[in-house]
Copies of this chain bind each other. A is one copy, B any other.
Amino acid sequence: MRLLDRSGRARPARIGVVSSGRGENLRYILKAERSGYLPAEVRIVLTDQKDAGALDIAREFKVEAFFIDPTGMDKESYDRSLVDHLEGAGVDLVVLTGYMRILSSAFVKLFSGRILNIHPALLPSFRGLNAFQQALDYGVRWTGTTVHIVDEEVDHGPIIYQVPVKVLDGDTLESLKARIQKAEYRAYPKAIKFFIESDLRQDGRRLIFGRPGPVERGI
């Protein structure tokens, strides 16, 4: 994703974040932006939850943020409202952090190949809700986290980055969740940076980055 300004020089990617949750991933993305690690600018934060932690975090980092009330709106109109805000902010890249609604086809098409999501499992294992519990119930010895491009199927698009996370013998839902989330806080900024700086091609579902991928080990 090479972005150039009018004089032909590389410019930071403009990011819009959409979140339903606590927003801890947002915090780490903003930290990575502010430290200069991430060649990006988070322009806007949108949420469908009035009391989403993401709103507080955006305020803390002085990023424009809006609660878009979904009450009484169908999915298409709601997503149109999101898109209006994102386009108004001149966003190049949409980053989902714990956004619990399924995006409409129109939204996905409009930002095709430019919407990222993070899922707390090594996809294609444990798609959908409660990936932590699914992994525990299945009894896998390794699970992890996946950053992927969003397509019209849930937790399904091309994979940018994965980090394996070991399941420990005494793990509870809480301990496993905490460990995977910790991995996510490092993984998401790294994957976004990699995505922005790579000259991405696609071979079927497989992404070809044209440069060595970020190095990581299982944790």
Q: With A169-B213, A218-B164 given, is the CB distance from A159 to B139 under 8 Å?
A: yes
Say whether A188 faces chain B, with CB atoms less than 8 Å apart: no
**B218 and A139 form a contact (CB under 8 A):** no
B158/A140 in contact, CB under 8 A: no
| A142 to B140 alpha-carbon distance, docked (Å) | 15
**A149-184 interface with B by 8 A CB criterion:** 158-162, 164, 169
Contact with B along A118-160 (1 / 0, CB 8 A): 0000111110000000001111111010000000000000111
Partner of A142, one of B137, B141, B164, B209: B164
Q: In the complex the two chains form, what is the Cα distance from A154 to B162 in whole Å?
A: 26
Chain B residues, Cβ within 8 Å of A106: none
Chain A, range 164-208, C-beta contacts under 8 Å to B: 164, 169, 204-208
Contacts of A138 in B (CB 8 A): 124, 159, 205-206
Copies of this chain, tallied across the complex: 2
Shortest Cβ distance from A203 into chain B, in angstroms? Answer: 8
Q: Which residue of B lies closest to A162 (CB)?
A: B141
State A217–B162 Cα separation when bound (angstroms). Answer: 15
Q: How far is the CA of A164 from the CA of B137 in the complex (A)?
A: 19
Residues of B within 8 A of A159 (CB): 138-141
List 9 A-B residue pairs with CB atoms under 8 Å apart, sorted by A's residue number: A123-B140, A124-B126, A137-B204, A137-B206, A139-B159, A139-B204, A139-B206, A140-B159, A141-B162
